[in-house]
Structure 1
Amino acid sequence: MMLNKSVKLIKSTYLLLILIGFLGACSKSTDNPAKPDPKPPVKPEEEITYSSDYKYNLNVIYFVPKDVTPNPDYEERISKILIEGQNFFSKWMKHWGFGDKTYGLLKNKENTRVKIHLIRGPEDAIAYATNKPIEELFYKYFQDNPTAKSSDHYLILTATNKKLDQGEEIGHEVPFYGVGRTCYALDYPGMKQENLGKGGTISEKATVYIGGLLHEMGHGINLPHNGPSASKINDPQFGMTLMGSGNYTYGKSPTYLSFFDAATLNNCQVFSKETKTFYEPVTAKVNTIQAKVENNEIVINGTYAASNTVKHITFKNILATDPQGYQSITFTTVPGAGNTFSVKMPVSEFRTKANMEYSLEIFFHHENGNKTSVFYPFKFVNDQPVVDFGDRTMLSRTGWEVIAYSSQQGGLEASKMLDGNDNTYWHTSWTTPTPHPHYVTIRTGAAAVTAQGLSYLNRHDNSGNGGKIKNFKIEISNDGNSWTKVDDYVGHLNGRQYYSFNGSKTFQYIKLTTSSDYEGKTHATIAELNLY
């Protein structure tokens, strides 16, 4: 009997404990409800609908080599970076008077996710150290999926699994630059918009690689390098240009898009909400130009002709020591009536003066998104500009002929410098190259001429220095046998340039002889040569 009573007591106690536990659990659940998952479940890619207000949208590609795995949450992280980038571009487009415009992106309806095309490479990362192998893969991808392509502009992010914000380093195995309308950047684990401006290594790397991403993307949407003027760099509203050294300031200190950038982007395909024709070939030519220094300003006036409407004109001042233009100072204006241009560039806005060589690039922003440029050299001497590229009265070249030359490449003959076409040029042979000196001798027709100087135009179809003459001399003759040296000269990198004879000279033959070029190689090249 005692045993049965004990068993009954144990069972009763057990049931009571279960009841108390149940009531306690209910009470606990009521007082402290379970926290919801902070992130809603992510829809599979195929279930997301993407759309855009823009007619053309940046093609965003996430490229993964064979020996690399996609970094966690890359869709979410990259989307936030690009959407915040849209806001940055929109802010400055509005600031410069172009309205609420930015680059187009295909996004979900919540505005949190960007359409990103995942492309996997069949080789290890080392095979994709340059852009060409990647380019072949994504071109094929869009050929196989033609409806996926949404513009002529591409952003390719190559994944690396190296933790760059934790001390790991990356070499040159990932391309990071812009080529034409395509740009390359990278993604590393944990590259987040939220890390910008926090301080420390994580923040520094976020600025370098996120700022770098937007800088290279700028190249991919038509922006060249340009820097801040003296009044902007110390202004907290502006600071550093994104297309200058913005990859070291974005998200950390004031960074902006220049008026030059905004005027360029206003004609960019992925900034358009209308269906238009973009990037058809265009031409433009400066017909007249006057230049002077007045009231501590460089004053430029002139006229031009163009095959496509010019919306803005930028006067870009490029240091000879900074040929890529990171520090270039820009002044952007609208064309005047009758295809005229005019600008006043205060000397106080130049950050580097002293005794420095400059090239002035007159940059035409065409309505169809293309650009054309012409270059003129000038310099600063003791902090003051010396401008000497205004129009001269050129001699007629009727009857002129090249009678001798040191070398010429087939199709790029020495006679090209007398054909009146700025886009053709003489180039010494590269199939059988010979070292300097190179020379060209011209007979000025059937009679002697009187001139005060020589002018020549550099080739402008390449971004490098390709045979541009550095040191040369000029000689003149009346019989083509006995020569008199006029002087030694130093050529400029860009544009149409003038070399004074320090007085009038009369002659029938003129010879230009080179001794060096800006590449430090063996070539010489001239687009047009004349006398004034």
Structure 2
Amino acid sequence: MKKCQLFFWMMILGVLVVACNNVVEDTGSKDVDIPPGETYTAQGKYHLNVVYFIPSDLDTLPLWHKRLSKITLYAQEFYLQSMKRYGFEKTFNLEVNDDNPEYIRIRCIRSDKSVTDLKTCGDITQEVRAYFKGNPAELNSNHFLVYIPQYDHSSAITGAAIEKMNASSDVYDCGMCVFGYDTETFDIRHIISDRARKRFLPYLGDLLQDLGSSFFLLPAAERASDPFYSIMGDNLSKFIGFGTTKGNPDSFRLSASDAMSLSEIQVFNDIDREYYQERPEVTVEKWDLEFRNDTVFVACEYRTPDEVVGIIIYNDLWRSYTGNIFTDEDHLSSTSLASARDAMPYLIEDYFIEQLDGDLYRASITFPWTDVPIAWIATKEAEIRARFIMKGGTFYPHTGDVNIKGDAAMRRSFSLDWSIGAKPDFSVPDRVVE
């Protein structure tokens, strides 16, 4: 009996020792955090300038370097995976710490202005630009990501600014993403927490979308046949009615035209060449539009002396929908980004472009009308327009231009009365968009 009791207590003691050892070992593994060293290695010749901007009456938040490094690395991986779906093994470059690759270089800029003097993205960009003008050796590219501690609980400065690096530049060649939602809870670990995930994702979604805008992507919606929402799209459902797309990285991604555009952007490349040098010259001479068998046939003839790597053809349905009303009251003259956010893009790659004579080219594409959401039936009017992706990272029209839809020749209006059970009535006015 005593031998049995002794054996029993020895077993209990052994279990406790093993359990204690496991607890100590597990806790130790979670607490290990190798601090970043002094040196960083750039992933390419050009890489994103990442900044933590602190107004004079605020201070850095706890663990800011660790948190924001992991957030930025997550964004980098998000773009990589989206690009890989279209055959591009690239994403934006960063400077990664040599001792601990979970840290990236983030320059902490402390302003001498208070939050009351810094109320807009423009105020922030001026301060950041002034810093790098005084420290040119620290400037790594034309693209910036600026984190800011959130001023208060009700609002934040956030968005994308497209500017010129030099006032004399012919091209808007500077893209800056300003993200003013940094708090102590802005942490990538919340993405795997069921309880915190729902509140965290909208902020992460804002960051990913504003980064896209700072990389010169234009607003565009997904098509009904797409298995995802567009990262640059509006709050429009693929099927019927309207739903939320922005702010949910679980369901949105880059489109093929986004990926082709980003493949030429400075910080997405290791190629040592000049970017954003000259405004491209493109003249659209002719549009051909035809509708048959529930399919739209589009052809565009244009002239350019510059190298085109792709053309985005937008089926821009005049149906921008915000706050339960249609907001595009005058699409013929509307040049706003908001009125373009519901356009559906179709990519024409360079090998589908036919050279007719000298600098005259013809590009053609077809798309099924089933790509059009049912909700569009309420308006019946639309336009076809183009955006040219040029070698070296410029576009025509370029982000930052007064009219991002292009001049009259770049746009062709049409109407389609397509009621269920009736023969579609497709018409192309003699006039182009004014």
Structure-2-length-normalised TM-score: 0.74
The offset of 1:356, in angstroms, is 3.0
Once the two structures are superposed, the pairs formed by residues 145-224 of structure 1 within 5 Å of their partners are 145-160=135-150, 162=152, 169-171=153-155, 173-180=156-163, 181-186=175-180, 187-196=182-191, 198-200=193-195, 202-224=196-218
Q: Deviations over 1:120-157 (max 9, x none)?
A: 22222232111222222111211121111110011111
Which moved further from structure 2: 149-158 or 127-136? 127-136
2:265 is equivalent to residue 282 of structure 1: no
- Residue of 77, 83, 94 corresponding to 1:105: 94
- Equivalent residue number for residue 337 of structure 1: 354
Aligned equivalent of 2:267:
270
AA aligned to 1:330 is P
Matches within 5 A, 1:41-190: 43=35, 47-98=37-88, 100-109=89-98, 110-160=100-150, 162=152, 169-171=153-155, 173-180=156-163, 181-186=175-180, 187-190=182-185
Distance in 1 between the 2:55 and 2:415 partners?
A: 48
RMSD: 2.6
Structure number with the higher helix fraction is 2
Segments of 4+ moved more than 4 angstroms: 31-35
In 1, distance between residues paired with 2:274 and 2:305? 14
TM-score, with length taken from structure 1: 0.61
> Of 296, 299, 305, which aligns to 1:298?
296
Letter in 2 for 1:334: E
Q: Secondary structure at 1:151's aligned position in 2?
A: coil
Distance change in 2, residues 1:385/1:219 (3 Å): farther
Distance in 2 between the 1:256 and 1:312 partners? 20
Q: Which amino acid aligns with 1:151?
A: S
User: Contact (CA 8 Å) 2:288, 2:298: kept in 1 or not?
Assistant: yes
Match of 1:403 in 2: none
Distance 2:29 2:87 in 1: 44
Larger Rg, first or second structure (1 or 2): 1
The alpha-carbon deviation at position 387 of structure 1 amounts to 4.4
- Residue ranges of structure 1 left out of the alignment (5+ in a row): 1-27, 163-168, 390-452, 456-495, 498-525, 527-532
**What displacement does 1:52 show?**
2.5
Distance 1:128 1:386 in 2: 51
Tell me what 1:480 maps to. none
CA contact (8 A) 1:125 1:174 kept: no
Query: In 2, Cα distance between the equivalents of 1:359 and 1:126?
Result: 43
Which of 347, 350, 353 aligns to 2:376? It is: 353
Residues 314-329 of structure 1 correspond to what in structure 2 (within 5 A)? 314-322=312-320, 323-329=338-344
Contact 1:58-1:270 within 8 A present in 2 as well: yes
Q: Secondary structure at the match of 1:230?
A: coil
* Residue aligned with 1:300, SS: strand
Read off the aligned partner of 1:170 and give its amino acid letter: S
* C-alpha spacing 1:50/1:255, structure 2 compared with 1 (3 Å): same
Give yes or no for the alignment of 1:378 onto 2:421. Answer: no
| Per-residue deviation, 1:261 | 0.5
TM-fit CA distance, 1:368: 1.5
Name the SS of the counterpart of 1:191 in structure 2.
coil
The correspondence of residues 10-49 of structure 1 with structure 2, limited to 5 A, is 32=21, 36=28, 38-40=30-32, 43=35, 47-49=37-39
TM-superposed CA distance for 1:385, in Å, is: 6.7
Count of aligned pairs: 350
Using the alignment, how far apart are the partners of 2:141 and 2:426 within structure 1? 44
Map 1:449-460 to 2 at 5 A. 455=431
Return the structure number with greater relative CO, CA threshold 8 A, min gap 6. 2
Paired residue type of 2:293: N
Percent of paired sites with the same residue: 22
